[in-house]
Amino acid sequence: MQITRRVTKAGTLALVVVGLGAGVVHALPERADVAIAPTTERSPGAWAMPLDGYVQPGWDKQDYAEDLVVQPCLRDVGIDFPVPWATIAGLEASSDASETPERGNPAPALSGSVPLGAELARTRGYHGPSTAGANEDGMRAWGQDPARNAAFAAASDTATTRCFRQGYRTLGTDDEDGRAQSASLVAKRLTYLAAVDARTDDTVVRAAAEWHACMAPAGPPDLPATPDRMPSRSMQVEYGTNIRSTPVRDGEIAIAVRDAGCQDSSGYRSALYDAEWSRLLHVTASDAAVLRAATADQPAVDRRLDETIRRLAPKAPADVD
């Protein structure tokens, strides 16, 4: 977003990337036999998982909150360029959209492995959340503003670095040794792998067959064998479910609502939750060491970011979530 931030956090990012690279090169089969205490209470409705406490908020929201909180300090050193509007929902959607397994991310956003629920089925069908609230054009123009960049170039590096570090400490996003980010990556990777493997659990497989029988009378002609493969290819084409800007139509809503209902009535959703939760109660010794080196306080950080954005962000247009 700006050169100063990249310089300030470069050391942390480099350490994390090197650590991951070494893990890939030297990885050997390792038993997941180390018990790890859950960081959250079981909550199928919220799809809470044992390692959620280690998962950092999305980078778009974190960067935006940091930009807001450092503005008074930057103004004092001659950099007075107010941050554009953005919304919490839009920033979260933007981060989730960029952190997917389809993009080759081995530690994708947690939202991607949560099964369809009744509320989202009624309101969005299979469409992803809107990213309009991230105000990507406005943020890009602000970050690339020549006058703003010139002000950064003219300011003292020591002074601007102090501003950002104060902001990180205020929000609890300071992570000079990279431990929080390393733990977050491990937690997201393991949660994703657990979600995928849970689908092979015998109880889940049986429930998926019940789901399929429930869906068959009203499902698409190419109804998949399991819920995680919805929407089907024909639905993606007919309803444009992969294009966030396309309208959500009644036919899509009807199928999605039945899908969510069949997941509940077949026992699929509850079986999947139990299978995924149980797979996250034991990890390898290597992963346990990374997790235990960090503090499972990221939900508190997330709430602090939300509070900061609600308090300091300019008002978004009325038609943007």
pLDDT tens track of the chain, all 321 residues? 333 343 344 333 333 333 333 333 334 579 999 999 999 999 999 999 999 999 999 999 999 999 999 999 999 999 999 999 999 999 999 999 999 998 889 999 999 999 999 999 999 999 999 999 999 999 999 999 999 999 999 999 999 999 999 999 999 999 999 999 999 999 999 999 999 999 999 999 999 999 999 999 988 999 999 999 999 999 999 999 988 889 999 999 999 999 999 999 999 999 999 999 999 999 999 999 999 999 999 999 999 999 999 999 999 999 897
Asked whether residue 320 is domain-assigned, the answer is no
Asked whether residue 153 is domain-assigned, the answer is yes
Asked whether residue 256 is domain-assigned, the answer is yes
Report the half-sphere exposure of 221 (CA within 13 A, side-chain side): 3
Which residue in 2, 166, 188, 162 sits closest to 81, CA to CA? 2
Q: Quick one: 159 exposed, middle or buried, by C-beta within 10 A (0-12, 13-18, 19+)? A: middle
Beta carbons of 65 and 78 less than 8 angstroms apart: no
Number of domains in the chain: 1
Asked whether residue 317 is domain-assigned, the answer is no
Asked whether residue 94 is domain-assigned, the answer is yes
Which residue in 300, 305, 297, 306 sits closest to 39, CA to CA? 297
Asked whether residue 262 is domain-assigned, the answer is yes
Asked whether residue 109 is domain-assigned, the answer is yes
Asked whether residue 321 is domain-assigned, the answer is no
**Residue 280 sits in which domain range?**
3-312
Q: What is the predicted pLDDT for the residue at 47?
A: 98
Q: What is the predicted pLDDT for the residue at 10?
A: 35
